[in-house]
Amino acid sequence: MAMLEVENLEVNYGVIKALKGISFTVEEGEIIALIGANGAGKTTTLHTISGLLSPHAGSIRFMDKEISRVPSHKIVGMGIAQVPEGRRIFANLSVYNNLRMGAYTRKDKEEFERNLETVYASFPILKERREQMGGTLSGGEQQMLAMGRALMSSPRLMIMDEPSMGLSPIYVNEIFAIIKKVNEQGVTVLLVEQNAKKALSIADRAYVLETGNIVLTGKASDLLEDERIKKAYLGE
Amino acid sequence: MSFFSYLINGVGLGSVYAIIALGYTMVYGIAKMLNFAHGDVIMIGAYIVFVAMTSLGIPALPSLIVAMIFCLVLGVVIEKVAYRPLRNAASKLAVLITAIGVSYLLQNIALLVFGPNPKSFSNIVKLPPVSIGGINISSTTLVTIAASVVIMLVLTFFVKKTKPGQAMQAVSEDRGAAGLMGINVNGTISLTFAIGSALAAVAGALMCSSYPILDPYTGSMPGIKAFVAAVFGGIGSIPGAMIGGILLGIIENLSKAYISSQIADAIVFAVLIIVLLVRPAGLFGKNVQEKV
């Protein structure tokens, strides 16, 4: 049984069909990349998993439980944390309080301290700036805060929406290295990314979305060599 | 009367505005809507205290608690029935107009239930006046001032230090991101309405203790003035609502005393216009930060 099983998922915005029945799986311990152009349905997929959107049809099972109708604030408690597109950190809360919000569903004080230490170890800059307001951080630091915040909820699955967006190349490399590290620590990752090259370089497997359908899937290393991918997404 | 007694009465009146403004400002900060029915919840709260004390013979404090609970439920129901279905409506005007509708609805319900004749409200503070430096100050004024300070301090602590308070801050900043943290956004907004409406009952009882005429329109003007106070202080800010309310009360009372009681309200609104021209975000308003 896969950790996350999406089956024939259809999502509509009014009359527009954003997802036309996609199916994919994420196995425990994997990094899975969803790649595709703007408007392909990547963010829609993540938002539906997180409970921000309700599907028109199809199912989403996480750890063998149907979650497609579970409201977003309960999804986190089940072990899925989302790092949203554009980071969406709380600009007027301190770095520490942002991290505290990430642990909102966790009642255990010891678990909180343990997670905080792990996050500070992975992102030393957050420890340094813990008293600063979130809004004063640079884009790359905000991305780290958004990841740290997600990790505070002890997720089994972390879903990330465009983590490289708007970051300088140095930060992009750093963020991807951290994603890899987080994954090695036992967190399964589902990643949506326009930077297909980067995403495929750290992912185990990938799915290619085109206007609401999955058109291609395979091992990430194979897709990196695939002619169609090279042409459409890698700009080669 | 001396300047000092005008001043202290102004602070007393301003404290009532402050308590109402706290409700306005919290709801605005978290639900991002102007609840124009807030003033009428005050009126309902005052009626509940009046009925409990006068008709049922319940002592003042338990009557106030009953009114607070009643208004708390009323506020939550209003939000759930009238405002929540419009929360994601395309136009923000829809919910604003609904709030005005709820305001008239509450006034007309009061008119139906309690009739148009003003009731004479009996003071909930049954203490003798206090003499400070030879000036007699009514204990109602002092209790009102103390209540507003305590309420502000408790609210500030609540928002800054407790988990539901932090959830309020998160929802106020970014509702979607708050939901992704596992915060129940609807629940948090309900809680805000509950607190604001319970405070409205306190404001109603204290206001009618100082100005004991109660009719279905009693809440309307103080509601608007408290809204002015909230904007004056910087809407969304708790200390802003407090300072805005008290300043407004002082300006109103001193205008009545030294200029003219007829144009006191005009002066209050003129001051608002001037403040907004100089500081559009209000005295304590945050400059809205654009997110990267």
Query: Which residue, among B64, B100, B75, B76, has the nearest Cα to B204 in the 3D structure?
Result: B64
Is B289 a domain residue? no
B14-37: pLDDT as tens digits: 999 999 999 999 999 998 888 999
Which of A86, A104, A142 is the closest to B181 by Cβ?
A104
Instruction: Please report, for chain A, how many H helices and E strands are present, in that order.
Output: 10, 10
Asked if B182 and A100 come within 8 Å (Cβ–Cβ), the reply is no
Write down the residue that tokens 């977003």 correspond to: A72
User: d(Cα B209, Cα B140) in Å, to the nearest integer?
Assistant: 7
Is B292 a domain residue? no
Asked if residue B291 has pLDDT above 50, the reply is: no
As a three-state string, the secondary structure of chain B is CCHHHHHHHHHHHHHHHHHHHHHHHHHHHHHCCCCCCHHHHHHHHHHHHHHHHHHCCCCHHHHHHHHHHHHHHHHHHHHHHHHHHHCCCCCHHHHHHHHHHHHHHHHHHHHHHHCCCCEECCCCCCCCCEEECCEEECHHHHHHHHHHHHHHHHHHHHHHHCHHHHHHHHHHHCHHHHHHCCCCHHHHHHHHHHHHHHHHHHHHHHHHHHCCEECCCCCHHHHHHHHHHHHHHCCCCHHHHHHHHHHHHHHHHHHHHHCCCCCHHHHHHHHHHHHHHHCCCCCCCCCCCCCC
Share of chain B above pLDDT 70, in %: 97
Tokens of residue A121, six digits? 């170890």
Number of folded domains that form chain A = 1
Asked if residue B285 has pLDDT above 80, the reply is: no
End-to-end CA distance of chain A: 37
The CA distance from B36 to the nearest CA of chain A, in Å, is: 27
B143-174: pLDDT as tens digits: 999 999 999 999 999 998 888 998 999 999 99
Q: Number of A:B CB contacts under 8 A?
A: 73
Asked if B180 and A104 come within 8 Å (Cβ–Cβ), the reply is no
Q: Is A108 on the interface with B (CB under 8 A)?
A: no
Q: Is A133 on the interface with B (CB under 8 A)?
A: no
Asked if B173 and A73 come within 8 Å (Cβ–Cβ), the reply is no
Q: Regarding beta strands A57-62 and A65-66, do their DSSP bridges make them parallel or antiparallel, or are they unpaired? A: antiparallel
CATH number at residue A27: 3.40.50.300
Please name the residue of chain A whose CA is at the shortest distance from the CA of residue B165. A101
Which of B166, B176, B286 is the closest to A97 by Cβ?
B166
Tokens of residue A158, six digits? 């972390």
Q: Is A74 on the interface with B (CB under 8 A)?
A: yes
Tokens of residue A150, six digits? 């997600």
Asked if A101 and B179 come within 8 Å (Cβ–Cβ), the reply is no
Bridge partners (DSSP) of residue A34 are A192, A207
Q: Is A115 on the interface with B (CB under 8 A)?
A: no
Average pLDDT for chain B: 91
In terms of C-beta density within 10 A (0-12 exposed, 13-18 middle, 19 or more buried), how is residue B276 classed? middle
Asked if residue B61 has pLDDT above 90, the reply is: yes
Instruction: Give B191-221 as a DSSP string.
Output: HHHHHHHHHHHHHHHHHHHHS-EE-TTTTHH
C-alpha torsion angle, residues A141, A144, A149, A150 (rounded to 10)? 150
Asked if B182 and A74 come within 8 Å (Cβ–Cβ), the reply is yes
Is B287 a domain residue? no
Q: Is B133 on the interface with A (CB under 8 A)?
A: no
Please compute the mean of the pLDDT values over residues B67-91 and round it to a whole number.
93
A194-230: pLDDT as tens digits: 888 899 999 999 999 999 999 999 999 999 888 888 8
User: d(Cα B196, Cα B232) in Å, to the nearest integer?
Assistant: 19
User: d(Cα A120, Cα A134) in Å, to the nearest integer?
Assistant: 15
Asked if B177 and A153 come within 8 Å (Cβ–Cβ), the reply is no
Asked if residue A236 has pLDDT above 80, the reply is: no
User: d(Cα B100, Cα B104) in Å, to the nearest integer?
Assistant: 7
Tell me which residue range forms the domain holding A214. 4-232
Is B290 a domain residue? no
Q: Is A77 on the interface with B (CB under 8 A)?
A: yes
Q: Is A47 on the interface with B (CB under 8 A)?
A: no
Asked if residue A153 has pLDDT above 50, the reply is: yes
Q: Regarding beta strands A188-193 and A31-36, do their DSSP bridges make them parallel or antiparallel, or are they unpaired? A: parallel
The CA distance from B164 to the nearest CA of chain A, in Å, is: 10
Number of folded domains that form chain B = 1
pTM equals 0.88
More confident residue, B194 or B273: B194
CATH number at residue B52: 1.10.3470
Average pLDDT for chain A: 92
Tell me which residue range forms the domain holding B15. 3-278
Asked if A97 and B286 come within 8 Å (Cβ–Cβ), the reply is no
Asked if the ipTM is above 0.90, the reply is no
Q: Is A68 on the interface with B (CB under 8 A)?
A: no
Q: Distance of CA B240 to CAs B110, B152, B248, B281, Å?
A: 31, 10, 12, 11
Bridge partners (DSSP) of residue B213 are B120
Asked if B289 and A100 come within 8 Å (Cβ–Cβ), the reply is no
Is B284 a domain residue? no
Asked if B177 and A90 come within 8 Å (Cβ–Cβ), the reply is yes
Is B285 a domain residue? no
Q: How many Cα atoms sit within 13 Å of B129 on the Cβ side?
A: 11
Q: Distance of CA B262 to CAs A21, B115, B257, B267, Å?
A: 69, 28, 11, 10
Asked if A50 and B180 come within 8 Å (Cβ–Cβ), the reply is yes
More confident residue, B236 or B242: B242
Asked if B163 and A104 come within 8 Å (Cβ–Cβ), the reply is yes
Asked if A88 and B180 come within 8 Å (Cβ–Cβ), the reply is yes
Q: Residues of B with CB below 8 A from A104's CB?
A: 163, 166-167, 170, 181-183
| B290 confidence band (pLDDT: 50, 70, 90) | very low
Q: Distance of CA A197 to CAs A212, A235, B10, B110, B131, Å?
A: 21, 9, 68, 67, 79
Please compute the mean of the pLDDT values over residues B42-60 and round it to a whole number.
94
B98-149: pLDDT as tens digits: 999 999 999 999 999 999 999 988 888 888 888 887 788 899 999 999 999 9
Tokens of residue A140, six digits? 């790359």
Write down the residue that tokens 């024939």 correspond to: A8
Q: Scan residues 142-181 of B and list those with Cβ closer than 8 Å to A.
A: 163, 166-167, 169-170, 173-174, 176-181
Tokens of residue B225, six digits? 């003035």
Contact by Cβ (8 Å): B205, B67: yes
Q: Is B118 on the interface with A (CB under 8 A)?
A: no
Is B291 a domain residue? no
Asked if residue A24 has pLDDT above 50, the reply is: yes
Asked if A91 and B289 come within 8 Å (Cβ–Cβ), the reply is yes
Is B27 a domain residue? yes
Q: Regarding beta strands A4-13 and A57-62, do their DSSP bridges make them parallel or antiparallel, or are they unpaired? A: antiparallel
A159-182: pLDDT as tens digits: 999 999 888 888 899 999 999 999
Asked if B182 and A77 come within 8 Å (Cβ–Cβ), the reply is yes
